[in-house]
Amino acid sequence: MRAINVLLSVSISLILAFVVFEFGLRLFPNFRPQEPINEFHPVLGWAKRPHAEVGRSTSEFDITFEINDQGLRCEERTSVAKSPNTFRVMMLGDSFVLGYTVDRKDLFVDHLRHYWSSEERRVDVVNAGTEGYSTDQSVLWFDEFGKAYQPDVVLLFPYENDIYWNGQDHYNRYPKPRYGPDGKLETGKLEDPGQLPWVTRKLATAKLLGLFVQGLSKPKGPPPHFFQPEGASGYVANEFAPLLLDPPAFVADTVARTEGALEALKTSCAEIGARLIVVPIPSESAIHADEKAAFQKNHLKGLDASRWSPDRPVELFLDLAKKHGIETLDVRSTFHARAGLGERLYFEQEWHFNPDGNLALAEFLKDELDARSVFPKEHAALAAGTFEKPATGGGLPTWILVFGALWLALGGGYIATYRDESAPLSFLKVGGLLACIFTIVLGGNSLVQKLPPALGPWLVLTVVTGILGFVVFKMGRRVGTIFELLTAFTLRGHWYLMPLVVVLLTIGSLLVVAASSPLVAPFIYTLF
């Protein structure tokens, strides 16, 4: 019986340490497990889960996806059957159309829906964007499901990485459909790869260990879906190959299949009398000069600027559409004009549109669709339309409010406890300590997100190990006393007391070190 109690004591101590480490990792958005909004689909590869409600947050955004019963990020009342005397616009695409980084109120699709509603037009907007879709999957979704909605206008928003993945039959773990250069679908029913193990999907620690393994492994030659162009300092993702002015040979097949997918969509739209317009999404490196420099350094591994262009994918989609007589819209001149005025249209760490970028695209589309008389006379505007502007700069960031509340509470408590000290000086001490802690948390999050995935875990491990090593050094002989106490409780089998003992000893040790060293105190309080 004693052996069992000892085993329980050791097990509970290890579990407690793991739980503390796991929750600590979740402070970093890069390691925080994300609930997927997609599920396997035997024809499309994957599709959004009906009735899914999933939150996503990083240091730049905090949003919620609400998917309706048809698997669309639209109003719950959206129906397949089109109401009489209604003009329907359908948006096809990937995460840009889905709104991967913004709530619906800031998404360009919903900006247009609101604007046309404020004009009192009888217009219905269907958002068919799905995270991770390449052009071929958007086309197949339209052929399988979209035609039933009987849209009058179909807007397709391809992105640069579509070109490469249009030529592949898998995207990461999931099988996906693809079209041949002749516009014919080459795939049929797809095989479900199954879910990843629960541990991998739900634990931040598993993600950290996976990144360590990935960073330590040194495969011979480029990893899957990577190549090394001449003049680059490392391997470059295949999806960036279409940006090269002299791309590798495999790009020819992906371009041919992209053309086949566009031809298939044109045929499907013609079958139901829908007007098709292709609107290629430019990357942030094609709009912002600083992002182009960063992309060249980080993703193209220093490849000379004369050998690539961020505009190549957009030009390719425009040329392919023109070849097949498909209407196009090019947003780049509008985006360049707004960027020239200092407006940021993409998130700094994330490469999708921010709220301002979504609004800029919505305003561009509204003007262009009006200029091209897309809406028939019976659906003309009856009132002046208005856009809802993104709520930027209208209030203080959340972290400032939290900082102020903590400063008031902790500063007041410190002054009440240490009455012999100068109140203003005490208040400044507390504010300085809090400022250090917030700098560590906010700056650390930003730094980890900007680093390559293989370096982030090492940075976190180095910082935590350094702090704990300093704690052990400062504790000195007290460390032996702590181990003696833990050993005594373990050997006596007091497993039910182990959580309390470990927590008290840990907090007590950290507080002792924090009180003895003001330089390391902010780091220790950050660990709490």
Residue pair 189/42 in contact (Cβ under 8 Å)? The answer is yes
Number of domains in the chain: 2
Does 227 share its domain with 213? yes
Q: Which of 335, 344, 341 is nearest to 362 (CA)?
A: 335
Helices within 418-455 (DSSP H only): 423-450
Beta bridge partners of 125: 89
For 466-511, what is each residue's pLDDT tens digit?
A: 766 766 776 777 777 777 777 776 676 665 666 666 666 676 666 6
Does 429 share its domain with 466? yes
To the nearest 10°, report the CA torsion of 229, 235, 238, 242: -40
Does 270 share its domain with 134? yes
- CB neighbours of 379 closer than 8 A, spacing ≥ 6? 87, 121, 122, 123
pLDDT surpasses 60 at 526: no
Does 369 share its domain with 262? yes
Highest mean pLDDT among 221-235, 281-295, 384-398: 281-295
% of the chain surpassing 90 pLDDT: 55
pLDDT surpasses 50 at 383: yes
Residue pair 389/359 in contact (Cβ under 8 Å)? The answer is yes
Does 369 share its domain with 461? no
Does 366 share its domain with 475? no
pLDDT surpasses 90 at 513: no
Average pLDDT over residues 356-384: 95
Q: Starting at the earlier edge strand, list the strands of the sheet with 275-278.
A: 123-129, 87-93, 153-157, 275-278, 327-328
Residues 127, 114: Cα–Cα separation, whole Å: 13
For 238-268, what is each residue's pLDDT tens digit?
A: 999 999 999 999 999 999 999 999 999 999 9
Q: Kindly indicate the confidence band of residue 316, based on its pLDDT and cuts at 50, 70 and 90.
A: very high
pLDDT in the model for residue 162 = 98
Does 148 share its domain with 16? no
pLDDT surpasses 80 at 349: yes
Average pLDDT over residues 113-134: 95
pLDDT in the model for residue 394 = 47
pLDDT surpasses 80 at 213: no
Lowest mean pLDDT among 147-156, 161-170, 176-185, 517-526: 517-526
pLDDT surpasses 90 at 192: yes
Does 12 share its domain with 56? no
Q: Is 93 domain-assigned?
A: yes
Q: Is 383 domain-assigned?
A: no
pLDDT in the model for residue 514 = 62
Does 442 share its domain with 308? no
Q: Is 387 domain-assigned?
A: no
Q: Is 332 domain-assigned?
A: yes
The whole-model pTM stands at 0.79
Residues 109, 11: Cα–Cα separation, whole Å: 52
Q: Is 380 domain-assigned?
A: no
Helices within 217-283 (DSSP H only): 250-272
More reliable by pLDDT, 93 or 213: 93
Does 405 share its domain with 276? no
355, amino acid identity: P
Tokens at 127, concatenated: 């958002």
**Domain limits for position 137:** 33-75+86-375
pLDDT surpasses 90 at 287: yes
Q: Is 109 domain-assigned?
A: yes
Does 11 share its domain with 51? no
pLDDT in the model for residue 62 = 85
Does 420 share its domain with 473? yes
Residue pair 350/61 in contact (Cβ under 8 Å)? The answer is yes
pLDDT in the model for residue 518 = 58
Q: What values do phi and psi take at 317, rounded to 5?
A: -65, -40
pLDDT surpasses 60 at 191: yes
More reliable by pLDDT, 297 or 486: 297
pLDDT surpasses 80 at 454: no
Helical (H) or strand (E) element with 40: strand 38-41
Q: Is 391 domain-assigned?
A: no
Residue 348 sits in a domain whose CATH number is 3.40.50.1110
Q: Is 381 domain-assigned?
A: no
pLDDT surpasses 90 at 353: yes
Q: What is the mean pLDDT of the chain?
A: 85
Highest mean pLDDT among 161-170, 449-458, 515-524: 161-170
For 421-450, what is each residue's pLDDT tens digit?
A: 787 877 777 777 677 666 666 665 555 555
Highest mean pLDDT among 317-321, 346-350, 496-500: 317-321
CB atoms within 10 A of CB 101: 24
Q: Kindly indicate the confidence band of residue 388, based on its pLDDT and cuts at 50, 70 and 90.
A: confident
